[in-house]
A and B are shown apart, each in its own frame.
Chain A
Amino acid sequence: QVQLQESGPGLLKPSETLSLTCTVSGASIRSDYWSWVRQPPGRRLEWLGFISTGESPYYNPSLGGRFTMSLDTSKNQFSLRLTSVTAADTAKYYCAKGRTLPDSWGHGTLVTVSS
């Protein structure tokens, strides 16, 4: 059974860059699609994009160009980078397996942006 675990800083200041990593066990990241979803406090879930080997990452076109996703096959991890964060990026960030339908999720990591 696939398991996913997010890691990264819990607190950032505005304008900083957020870097999150998702460690996958029970499956190879070479063999599927991997995605990120976030949930701002009290708001609906927001799909951020997906990545897979052999294909360019696809990002939510409604969110602008601040996101970058990458894979590290040697560590069986994938990552999310978000530049120039603002308070609006405060959310619980989840990594998940799946292209557009996340069918297995990590527990999530809370990221707070505050000066």
Chain B
Amino acid sequence: EVVLTQSPGTLSLSPGERATLSCRASQSLGNPYLAWFQQKPGQAPTVLISVASRRVAGIPDRFSGSGSGTDFTLTISRLEPEDSAVYYCQQYGGSPPTFGQGTKVDIK
């Protein structure tokens, strides 16, 4: 199965700063079926990005996804206090679908 490794483990940034989250796959994804989720404490994950770069309806445009092959990135261009959460990547083109271990974003 495809193992997804996210880095860094934790990001501590101030409001207005830019956050760059990485997701690396153990093997090349032959398709762009890579998603990003946001999970706030005590809540279920919500999908932000699908097919590597397509923002889900209703998600602010400060969230953007990019990448292909083995390297994918989630960028939050201008952090807001409500962006404090754990972010997970998921590949859903391979069997089985797998998730990364998460990156925690703290807003100072």
Contact = CB atoms under 8 A, between A and B. Distances in A.
A101 B47 CA distance: 9
A60 interface: yes
B65 to A, nearest CB: 13
B88 A47 contact: no
B95 to A, nearest CB: 7
B44 A106 contact: yes
20 contacts: A44-B99, A44-B101, A45-B88, A45-B90, A46-B99, A47-B99, A60-B96, A61-B96, A62-B96, A94-B44, A100-B92, A100-B93, A100-B97, A101-B33, A101-B90, A101-B92, A102-B45, A102-B47, A103-B50, A105-B46
Contact of B95 (A44, A61, A94): A61
A103 B45 contact: no
A62 B43 CA distance: 26
Nearest to B99: A45
A106 B43 CA distance: 9
A45 B92 contact: no
Interface of A: 43-47, 60-62, 94, 100-103, 105-108
Contacts, number: 46
Contacts of B100: 44
A100 B56 CA distance: 16
B75 interface: no
B55 to A, nearest CB: 13
Interface residues of B, number: 22
Interface of B: 1, 33, 35, 43-47, 50, 56, 88, 90, 92-93, 95-102
Given A61-B96, A100-B33, 13 more contacts: A44-B99, A44-B101, A45-B88, A45-B90, A47-B97, A47-B98, A61-B95, A62-B1, A94-B45, A100-B97, A101-B33, A106-B44, A107-B43
Contacts of A47: 90, 96-99
B44 A105 contact: yes
A43 B100 CA distance: 10
A44 B45 CA distance: 12
A44 B39 CA distance: 12
